[in-house]
Chain A
Amino acid sequence: MKADPKGVLTGSHYIDGDFACCEGALAAGCRFAAGYPITPSTEVVERFARRAPLIEGALFIQMEDELAASIALQGAVWAGKKAMTVTSGPGFSLMMEHIGLAAMTETPCVFVNVQRGGPSTGLPTLPGQADMMQARWGSHGDYEIIALCPNSPQESFDMTIDAFNLSEQYRVPVMFMMDESVGHMMERVVIPPADRIEITPRRFTKLPPGEYLPFKPGADMVPDMFKAGDGHRLHVTGLTHDFRGYPNMSPETQEQLVHRLVNKIRLNAPKIWRYEEIDVEDADVVVLAYGITSRLAIDAVALARKEGIKVGMLRLIVVWPFPERRIEELAAQGKALVMAELNYGQVFFEVDRCARGKAPVLLAGHGGGAVHRVEDIAEKIVEAYRCRS
């Protein structure tokens, strides 16, 4: 369906990634945001707080902490709203339990994390990309999520819409993994008219109360949803549950449920994967990057090309689920791989795993607090080029 024009600020704007994220959410139909202030993400909810009163049916509430924010939004989703919360490092850590709840109860919602330097309080005002594994595995137990990494304010707008759409399609919490640099970077953002924005509606059941089983999956492994007040009078629990939503402590029910929570993403992964390739075809070396780091990596590619090294780039746009098959192909073709990210090896280990020893994989790591120096990534390209077999 098309976007509701009430939330769409059509036009050309000069705004930062945080503001663009808020506009993307409103365009996607998000009408409930719960937040707790934390640098460098606060601007997203500041804008939401200012915009919401002027959009019918939209509400912002500043909660008492991130634990509250990350579950208030789930209450709103079960009341029928599209909802998000926004945070950064320490707040993201506090939200982990509720990412697990959203995964377990298949609550479609968006968690925005504008990544800063960590661990702990770390570097509140400076960039990092070291929450990538936390986004994927941070809550206890076994589940899968989807994570997107924009590299510009324009993408922050566009991909926030994608994040909401994916969350509705797969009934999964989607991690919108920005970084401080993209969050605070001002660029032109073009917001199209509402009738040019495609929105995935909630997959509400068409079955009447009594016939509908809230956790019985459809052919795509995803169950249809209900909302409170619809007359279904059903139960939703974070306990292991059967198709009726009733708690059931048997290993068989656990197997059926967790297997599906994991596989509804894994088996649908080829439909979710998204990456951009530049000059990969003839390359001897491929640099992989996501978010702000991809904008340094592309300069490093140009620099190395000038020195005669055939190098290309693969930019991860959807990082989780990870495009394993493409990495396997590149490694099988003997292309050396360089992973550039603002941490000391997170997505890197996934690349290394998928290369299966068929190609050298080097890390251009960084502790965060600044973006990479282009020369440092270029040096790794040279090193990777030299250690090809």
Chain B
Amino acid sequence: MMETALEFKEVRKSLGGKEILKGITFSVRVGDVFGYLGPNGAGKTTTIRVLLDLLPPDGGEVWLFGRPSDPETRRRIGFLLENDGLFDGLTAAENLFLFARLYGAPRPRVRELLELVGLKGKERDRVGTFSKGMRQRLALARALLHDPELLVLDEPTAGLDPTGQMEVRELVRELAGSGKTVFLSSHNLDEVERLCNRIALIHHGEIRLQGETHELMRGDRTGYVVEPSKPLSPELIQGLCSQADLGFAGEEGGALLFEPREGMGLKTLVSRLEEMGIEIEAIRRARASLEELYRRIIVEEEWGTSSQS
């Protein structure tokens, strides 16, 4: 069994009389890049605040590295919160020195990390003069100062331009590659889909979905997406429709979706299409996009709620 880096067990939290977390349970395994998805106000930030002991839970337990969360285990977490949390009046190096001192990290590590995030030469510049992208990279460097095993990132690319987003994503990818466990809270579906191997979706303070990203995205779809090498004529499309056992489900952006009847394998499908004169460029298993999943759970629920009211 894989070791668990983080576990939320039936965690509840109310603020101002409103229940924000309604007994949420999920776990993050060591080495996971775990995407924590949800719309604004779903409870993502509250979850992170409970995880970092900024808010005590009203019920349930938070476990870190196989034991209940305590100051000692929390030292193994590096974090980047929604606001970068940098001190504007201090220089880049001073910001890092402060946290190096708090975590007992060696001073040379500051220079090392400034170089890693591409801020070498900016050590003596006041953070107040930095662009959003530079601030975010510096905040990431701060999160890595004590070489944490679990990295908690709350909307790390929010407010960044595309270049900044790419840089931060690349950095997260590198960190994950180096064996760090990453807990990534985001409402950027594309980002989560690209980076995370496991996800959980929170809505109205409840976990609605969790598991392996590819498993969830495959979902209840069993079919195939076929990309023909040239566009199909209307006659061919009609021909596909007439053969019910092929399960032709439609065309999307030039790709054909098939949900063949039970018993028909991929080989049979390919040979039948070739018999019809369709040249195949590529074929892959059909899967729902994260956006589709999200829409199915969140948007449809919201619509349901609003139409009922």
A complexed with B: no
List the interface of chain A (C-beta within 8 A of B).
none
